[in-house]
Amino acid sequence: MFPLIFLLPLCYGIAATIPTARIVVFYASSGAYENITDALFLGKFWGNHLSTKLAKSPEWPFNATVEFFDTMNNEARVRSYCRSRFANKELPNVTAVLGPFPYKMGYAVSDVAVKYNIPVVFPEVVAYATTNGVVKQLPSLTSSFFILPAGFTFSTAIEAYIKAGVHTVFVAYLKSPSFVQPTTTCQAAANVAQQRGINVLGQVSFTPTNTTDDLYQIVLTIKSLNPDAVIWCDPETCTSAYRLPYHVLPLFKRANYLPKALSLSDCVDYPLTSSLYAQGLYPFVSSAQAYNARCSGNDYTEDFTPYSSLFRPQTPPDFTVNKPLFPSNLARIPVFTPYLFEN
């Protein structure tokens, strides 16, 4: 009993010296964007990872608690929660927030968070708008951070077009009040193409209320203009079942027409579109992306920092190739670090 009595104040003393942090993670269990980012699962996993770090690493400097809030895809609910939670003096102060999706919900959080200097990191929401390569930032977003790039996803595609000899392009995009990404991405694509000397034959927007026949008319217009490349921004047709019937590929097939290049905004490699793959509609379709399964190299490898390390490959601390880390006889001893010793 004595050691326990002795240790309790000691443990309490150690715990007291480690600062606390409260992180609020938003997720949606229902609505059009139900579990789209998997924030609940990943957030719980991350919370456990932080607890493990605290328990096992003597140098770990903070004690984090992760709170979750279900947006239910309801902007008013989110705004109301933020007002009450961020100002609440009885609960521990919020240290940081993982922002919700889509942007209306996200901006509702930012509106309140900025008043309390609470940082909001958005995995999916894009910054306000881009015009001629300039991001216009709203004052309410000064404490918000955006993981997605600023709408220039098609810049690389335009480079590839120029290299391949594309001279003309047609741009079509979804214009939705709840999802601005297709508009900002495609408008930026048209701007960049024009600046790089590609003739933009047309820019057309459509809305979520447009029928497939409306979209087919756009495809027929494209067919009559016959551009070298078509840029089509409606990524939800690959991520949301309710938008799948509006996917553009069956419409190009119906029109019996294909341009020399057809580039979508992301929208490739999605299980939801497996029926279109099975029909043979997808081969040679190109895509402007910020992420691809095959991304590799230093930029896609966590560096040697004391935080995270969950998905960091084990590498030799000394990067010299020809210098063996261990004598050859020791290298044959079985170990549990395959990447370090693998021949």
Partner 1 sequence: MTDQQNLGKTARYPSSNALFREWYFAVRGVYPDYTNVPTWAAFDVLESALFRAAADPSNIINGHLPASKVLHALIGSDTRTPYGRVAFDANNVNNGLKGLFSQVLPSSSFSQIVYPSDLQTDVFVYPMPTWEERVHTWHLLGGAQKKIAFSVSIACSVALGLFLITMVIYRRGERGGVWVWMFVQLAN
The answer to whether 265 touches 233, Cβ cutoff 8 Å, is: yes
Q: Binding residue for partner 1 (CB under 8 A) from 207, 301, 324, 330?
A: 301
283 binds partner 1 (CB under 8 A): yes
89 binds partner 1 (CB under 8 A): no
Return the closest-CA partner of residue 227 out of 261, 254, 197: 261
69 binds partner 1 (CB under 8 A): no
Q: CB atoms < 10 A from the CB of 262, how many? A: 18
CA gap 193, 180 in Å, rounded? 20
CA gap 212, 218 in Å, rounded? 10
112 binds partner 1 (CB under 8 A): no
224 binds partner 1 (CB under 8 A): no
* 200 vs 268, beta carbon nearer partner 1: 268
* 210 vs 341, beta carbon nearer partner 1: 341
Q: CB of 262: closest distance to partner 1 in angstroms? A: 7
* 150 vs 215, beta carbon nearer partner 1: 150
The answer to whether 198 touches 159, Cβ cutoff 8 Å, is: no
Radius of gyration of the chain (CA): 25
CA gap 106, 148 in Å, rounded? 14
149 binds partner 1 (CB under 8 A): yes
84 binds partner 1 (CB under 8 A): no
Counting beta carbons within 10 angstroms of the beta carbon of residue 241, is it exposed (0 to 12), middle (13 to 18) or buried (19 or more)?
Answer: exposed
122 binds partner 1 (CB under 8 A): yes
* CA distance between the termini of the chain: 53
109 binds partner 1 (CB under 8 A): no
166 binds partner 1 (CB under 8 A): yes
Return the closest-CA partner of residue 287 out of 192, 184, 190, 156: 156
154 half-sphere exposure, CB direction, 13 A CA radius: 34
* 42 vs 200, beta carbon nearer partner 1: 42
The tokens for 213 are 């026949």
> Scanning residues 1 to 20, which ones bind partner 1 (CB under 8 A)?
16-17, 19-20
24 binds partner 1 (CB under 8 A): no
73 binds partner 1 (CB under 8 A): no
Q: Which stretch binds partner 1 (CB under 8 A): 56-64, 168-176, 197-205, 207-215?
A: 56-64
Q: Which stretch binds partner 1 (CB under 8 A): 110-118, 167-175, 193-201, 214-222?
A: 110-118
